[in-house]
Chain A
Amino acid sequence: MQLIWLVPAFPLIGFLVTSFGQKRLGGISAGILASSSVFASFICSLYLFFTFKGEAQTVQLFNWIQSGSLSIPFSFLLDQLSLLMLLIVTGIGTLIHIYSIGYMKSDQAFARFFSYLNLFVFFMLLLVLGSNYVVLFAGWEGVGLCSYLLIGFWFKNHDFNKAANKAFIMNRIGDLGFLLGIILMFITFGSVSYDKVFDAAKLVEDNQPVIIAITMLLFIGAMGKSAQIPLYTWLPDAMAGPTPVSALIHAATMVTAGIYMVVRSNVLYSIAPATLSFIAIIGTLTALFAATIAMKQTDIKKVLAYSTVSQLGYMFVALGVGAYSTAMFHVTTHAFFKALLFLAAGSVIHAVGGEQDIRKMGGLKKKLPITFAVFMIGTLAISGIPPLAGFFSKDEILAKVSMQSPILFYVLAFTSVLTAMYMFRLLFLTFYGGFRGSKEQAHHLHESPSVMTWPLVLLAVLSTVGGFMGMPTVFSEQHLLHNFLAPIISSPAGLLISEPSHLFEWMLMGSSVFLLAIIIVWSYRRYVSREAIPSLHETDMSLLTKVLYNKYYIDELYSAVFVKPLRAFGSFFQKYIDKAFLDGIIGGVNKGVVLGSQTVRLIQTGNIGFYIFAMVFGIIAILLFNLLL
């Protein structure tokens, strides 16, 4: 168990070597080095997983921050939840590192890319391994930094740099909430360590204002990191980064940190049902809202990005109804199929020479057979076709929600219809029909090298069988993932997590399969048979399409409501308060003194008679003054 520290140590070493040795590491050696370091972490994680005895263990490295009664050790916690996350992060991380060797091969800053990627894995592992909220926060902000560095990886492009800034700043808004939540937790419980806080919280009654405040503040952090309304707008822009980054950071791992954090804090959230309801509503709204935008996007990565936002919404709904392990289930399956979809999209982009607009693609299935096959698997998985991974986890969320709120259930069910629609639209527009790009591109179309396709195939396998770790009760008595996570989960007392009836489950599965079949046929007719390719010009769009295409103009709204007024305040403060008012006062005092001394100077006439007179007058005045007192 003492080996825990090795898990983050490998990528950290990888980062140091690849960044300090950037000039000396020629060819693809930086990529191999970085991939091996993450793979070594994966092996360690596997070892820890198989030797894990069911007892949570804490390993303290050193005392980090100590001030009075505040004590924050730098220590790691190994339990079921962190193990699951370790496996996801290092496992998928390894595949994406290997894929990147092919994807980034011709980039000048090849070594720099891998050093950032390794640094990201290090911080992500810190995030999931920390045994208190401040170490978690260190990882949390660290992954944010790497996200910033990688979004702006191609730093010559101003738009990319702006997207990077936006991501960091949006996250910081959430992080302020998170930080205040941690501080309030310290003030309330006298500790920020998981074990102490949770032990203390077990004695607290439901819906105490301070607990609601803490959980809400922490959730604000999650809204930023996991891109929920209203802090989601950075994630679609984050697609400016190289595609493997989108797969690893902005789909599979970092953006699920918010869900991890809530699951980690489930003891607190379970005694704050009010917060849970709020989370469920935010999650549902985000799922629906993002899915509608995805319907009309034309950039292959943007569609997937909004889809990620939407899927994260699903996970939060699961949290909101107290189904913590269900949320983790969806985190896991989503990591498989979304990483797969992004990497496959990367393979497409690679093939068409950097083009990301699906209106200029089409007919790629013959030229890119492997990419097509795995993209198809990813699409089927996310749409919820049995028996692929997404089917089980998404149906489980729907089933759990249906037990608590019919309204949310219908909204989410409708959203899954949308999900299938935009995914098949994407699939058909990209891979079916005729190629709509330039002749130049058509000439160069090629399948990606095997260093890229092998990770795709492995992820496709995981996306296919990943769902079996959590089969519904109609199929299996054992829900492996729930059983595994059970020791760290404390469900809300008020919400009885009852299992839906078998009849209901059959109906749910039946109707979703039926609906999916209709959607697939409808989409095929529309996009393949009738070749209804979205217009390249905004003027041709209907009003609704235009609004969706422009993402409801939310960026414009934020700019008008927050950015511009605040900057106006800054200018106003400087011009009118600093310069005119405050300096005016100083200037006034200054002038007063000058004026005063000019007046007083007149008394110095040089006339000795006047001086004597003044002196005598003064003495008399003092004497009188003393007498009067």
Chain B
Amino acid sequence: MMLSLLLFFPLLAAIAVLFSGTRAKHIALGATILEFLISISLVFKFLPDGGTQFVENYWWVQGLGISYHVGMDGISLLLVLLTTFLLPLIILSSFQHKHKNPGLFYFLILVMQSALLGVFVSLDAFLFYVFWELALIPIYLICLVWGGKDRVRITLKFFIYTLFGSLLMLVALIWLWTQTPGNHSFELSSFYALNIDPANQTWLFWALFLAFAIKIPIFPFHTWQPDTYTDSPTAGTMLLSGIMLKMGIYGLLRWMLPVIPEGVHEWSNIAILLCVIGIVYASLIAWVQKDFKRLIAYSSIAHVGLIAAGVFSLSFQGVHGSVFQMLSHGVNVVGLFFIADIIERRTQTRDLDALGGIRLVAPGFSTYFIIVLLASIALPLTNGFVGEFLLLNGLYQYSTPAAVLAGLTVIFGAVYMLNAYRKIVLGEAAASTQSFTELNTNEKLVLIPIVVLIFWMGIYPDFFLKISEPSVKDLRDIIYSASGFSSN
């Protein structure tokens, strides 16, 4: 029952929040903290070598082979933890804004949390799809109602893009369902057991790849992302970049690689090529950005491109690294967007050229900023390094040129991030930053957990690596036993 509690508690809380008026934000914060504690209690019960745990399995629509089947292995657990850890921070960070209609705002965020968690624990394709789509609706509304000037056009683009991807996924899942023996079933395990011929694996690969690639996003399916990240309210951007994009990568790991391993083997070279092009492409664009939020958006494309490339390398370190880096990226990107938000709230601008000299007036803020920045450019002893090292390692095992090109992120990341830091924080104070105030308590409460995690994951990543290691091994076993390829 623990997982159902975890899944539906935010939904219940959401309903309470909807009718709570001005106290909405506090109730929402309390609920997400409680939710985080529930997820922590699962960590204590979790056995790293125990495979899929906390399983609940009931028929939902028996005639169609649909069941309410949930469970967690190490990979799911880490993503659940990421979600429950970030949600209180996202809500707390939104305290700085006066949102109109707060009841609805926090209602949507909590619904979103349920849906995200559902995606990460579903073991039934139909259930997975329902949660996947359910997650889209609140974020769409959050961006549409509370977004920036151009929100209507941009959210429409975002919506059409992702809906298109979802549709492809639905077609693929239903086709897979038709292939299952007997009365048909949406069970993940029955998908794993299918023997699909190569021709079908090919179109399935592209259908699923597109669905997930749009979500992640992978070049060239990314153009919805910078606009949406830039124009959404900060809480929305954090939800999208911190957690929601991990749905795509998780989808690759859970619903694509083990289901159509031969298709993946056949076409992963093109997938990796796109990822790697995206790393260089997005980094170069990030370098010429003037808008700090947009710069982070493009840098995120580069970073997730590396994560996806690690997944497609299928090597142990690549897959393991991708799981770890999903967490690092989630923590760091939320930190970066929060910092962008702090700057924008205080100065009314995100233009790098209009900023400068913040260090003079707010050294404390500048220190938090550079720590998060260094983590995002993967300095050793921060979380970013562990993931990047494993990912590049995995990618190198797959192909030398891919690793070299992807490795350029090591250089470009430093270029655009330090450039932005120099323009925003260093130098003489600009007109916009003269009265820049130091962080208040609320803001510190958001940034301190992020910084703690940056160092914890960077100095002692073993805790996180150990949770996911057996699951990564199991995953690769399924891939390689099904495809008959050797696992070396």
Which chain B positions have C-beta within 8 A of A176? Answer: 407-408, 410-411
| A63-B462, A156-B360, A183-B403 known; A586+B281 contact, CB < 8 A | no
Tell me whether A169 and B320 are in contact (CB under 8 A). Answer: no
Tell me whether A66 and B396 are in contact (CB under 8 A). Answer: no
Tell me whether B422 and A162 are in contact (CB under 8 A). Answer: yes
Stretch at the interface among A362-370, A532-540, A563-571: A563-571
Which chain A positions have C-beta within 8 A of B256? Answer: none
B312 interface contact, C-beta 8 A: no
B350 interface contact, C-beta 8 A: no
| A141-B380, A179-B407 known; A64+B393 contact, CB < 8 A | no
A161 interface contact, C-beta 8 A: yes
Rounded to whole Å, the gap between the CB of A613 and the closest CB of chain B is 31
Closest to A135 in B: B380
Bound-state CA distance A175–B422 (Å) is: 21
Closest to A579 in B: B223
Which chain B positions have C-beta within 8 A of A573? Answer: 281, 284-285
Which chain B positions have C-beta within 8 A of A578? Answer: 223, 226, 285
Tell me whether A62 and B157 are in contact (CB under 8 A). Answer: no
Tell me whether B381 and A138 are in contact (CB under 8 A). Answer: yes
Rounded to whole Å, the gap between the CB of B147 and the closest CB of chain A is 18
| A67-B390, A142-B380 known; A187+B396 contact, CB < 8 A | yes
* Range, interface on chain B: 35 or more
Which chain B positions have C-beta within 8 A of A183? Answer: 389, 392-393, 396, 403
Tell me whether B411 and A169 are in contact (CB under 8 A). Answer: yes
B374 interface contact, C-beta 8 A: yes
B307 interface contact, C-beta 8 A: no
B359 interface contact, C-beta 8 A: yes
Q: Which residues of B364-389 have CB atoms within 8 Å of chain A's CB atoms?
A: 374, 379-381, 385-386, 389
Rounded to whole Å, the gap between the CB of B68 and the closest CB of chain A is 34
A195 interface contact, C-beta 8 A: no
Closest to B397 in A: A187
Tell me whether A65 and B223 are in contact (CB under 8 A). Answer: no
Bound-state CA distance A161–B357 (Å) is: 12
Rounded to whole Å, the gap between the CB of A191 and the closest CB of chain B is 13
Which chain B positions have C-beta within 8 A of A63? Answer: 462
Contact with B along A152-178 (1 / 0, CB 8 A): 100111100110110011001101100
A404 interface contact, C-beta 8 A: no
Bound-state CA distance A573–B277 (Å) is: 12
Rounded to whole Å, the gap between the CB of B59 and the closest CB of chain A is 34
Tell me whether A145 and B285 are in contact (CB under 8 A). Answer: no
Bound-state CA distance A373–B285 (Å) is: 55
Tell me whether B374 and A165 are in contact (CB under 8 A). Answer: no
A189 interface contact, C-beta 8 A: no
Rounded to whole Å, the gap between the CB of A335 and the closest CB of chain B is 25
Bound-state CA distance A172–B409 (Å) is: 10
Closest to A149 in B: B370
Which chain B positions have C-beta within 8 A of A227? Answer: none
Main secondary structure of the interface of B (DSSP, over half): helix
Contact with A along B104-134 (1 / 0, CB 8 A): 0000000000000000000000000000000
Contact with A along B451-477 (1 / 0, CB 8 A): 000000001111001100100110000
Choose among A66, A158, A175 the residue that contacts B465 (Cβ–Cβ < 8 A).
A66
A68 interface contact, C-beta 8 A: yes
B321 interface contact, C-beta 8 A: yes
Contact with B along A468-489 (1 / 0, CB 8 A): 0000000000000000000000
Closest to B367 in A: A19
Tell me whether B410 and A67 are in contact (CB under 8 A). Answer: no
Closest to B377 in A: A172
| A570-B284, A582-B223 known; A165+B422 contact, CB < 8 A | yes
B229 interface contact, C-beta 8 A: no
Q: Which residues of B72-126 have CB atoms within 8 Å of chain A's CB atoms?
A: none
| A158-B427, A186-B393 known; A68+B288 contact, CB < 8 A | no
Closest to B415 in A: A169
Rounded to whole Å, the gap between the CB of A25 and the closest CB of chain B is 15
A590 interface contact, C-beta 8 A: yes
B361 interface contact, C-beta 8 A: no
Tell me whether A172 and B414 are in contact (CB under 8 A). Answer: yes
Bound-state CA distance A164–B379 (Å) is: 16
Contact with B along A182-194 (1 / 0, CB 8 A): 0110110000000
Tell me whether B426 and A67 are in contact (CB under 8 A). Answer: no
Contact with A along B144-159 (1 / 0, CB 8 A): 0000000000000100
Tell me whether B317 and A68 are in contact (CB under 8 A). Answer: yes
Which chain A positions have C-beta within 8 A of B397? Answer: 187
Bound-state CA distance A179–B379 (Å) is: 12
Number of interface residues of A (CB under 8 A): 50
B266 interface contact, C-beta 8 A: no
Bound-state CA distance A141–B414 (Å) is: 12
Rounded to whole Å, the gap between the CB of B467 and the closest CB of chain A is 12
Bound-state CA distance A586–B220 (Å) is: 11
Rounded to whole Å, the gap between the CB of A181 and the closest CB of chain B is 11
Tell me whether A582 and B220 are in contact (CB under 8 A). Answer: yes
Choose among B157, B287, B380, B469 the residue that contacts A586 (Cβ–Cβ < 8 A).
B157
B54 interface contact, C-beta 8 A: no
Tell me whether B414 and A574 are in contact (CB under 8 A). Answer: no
Tell me whether A569 and B410 are in contact (CB under 8 A). Answer: no
Closest to A590 in B: B160
Give the interface centre of B281, B284, B396 by most chain A CB atoms within 10 Å: B284
Which chain B positions have C-beta within 8 A of A175? Answer: 410
Tell me whether B157 and A152 are in contact (CB under 8 A). Answer: no
| A142-B381, A165-B422, A571-B288 known; A64+B462 contact, CB < 8 A | yes
Closest to A162 in B: B422
Bound-state CA distance A155–B288 (Å) is: 23
Tell me whether A180 and B396 are in contact (CB under 8 A). Answer: yes
A69 interface contact, C-beta 8 A: yes
Tell me whether A65 and B427 are in contact (CB under 8 A). Answer: no
Give the interface centre of B161, B317, B426, B460 by most chain A CB atoms within 10 Å: B426
Contact with A along B281-304 (1 / 0, CB 8 A): 100111110000000000000000
Tell me whether B403 and A69 are in contact (CB under 8 A). Answer: no
Rounded to whole Å, the gap between the CB of B55 and the closest CB of chain A is 26
Interface CB pairs A-B, < 8 A, 17 = A62-B460, A64-B461, A65-B461, A70-B393, A142-B380, A148-B418, A152-B426, A156-B428, A158-B427, A165-B419, A172-B411, A176-B411, A180-B396, A180-B403, A566-B287, A567-B288, A582-B220
Q: Please give 18 more A-B residue pairs, beta carbons under 8 A apart, in addition to A68-B320, A586-B161.
A: A62-B462, A65-B389, A67-B321, A67-B469, A70-B317, A138-B380, A138-B381, A141-B379, A141-B380, A168-B414, A176-B407, A179-B407, A180-B403, A180-B407, A186-B393, A566-B287, A583-B223, A586-B160
Q: Taking beta carbons and an 8 Å cutoff, which residues of B are in contact with A?
A: 157, 160-161, 220, 223, 226, 281, 284-288, 316-317, 320-321, 357, 359-360, 374, 379-381, 385-386, 389-390, 392-393, 396-397, 403-404, 407-408, 410-411, 414-415, 418-419, 422, 426-428, 459-462, 465-466, 469, 472-473
Closest 4 CB pairs of A and B: A138-B380, A570-B284, A68-B316, A570-B288
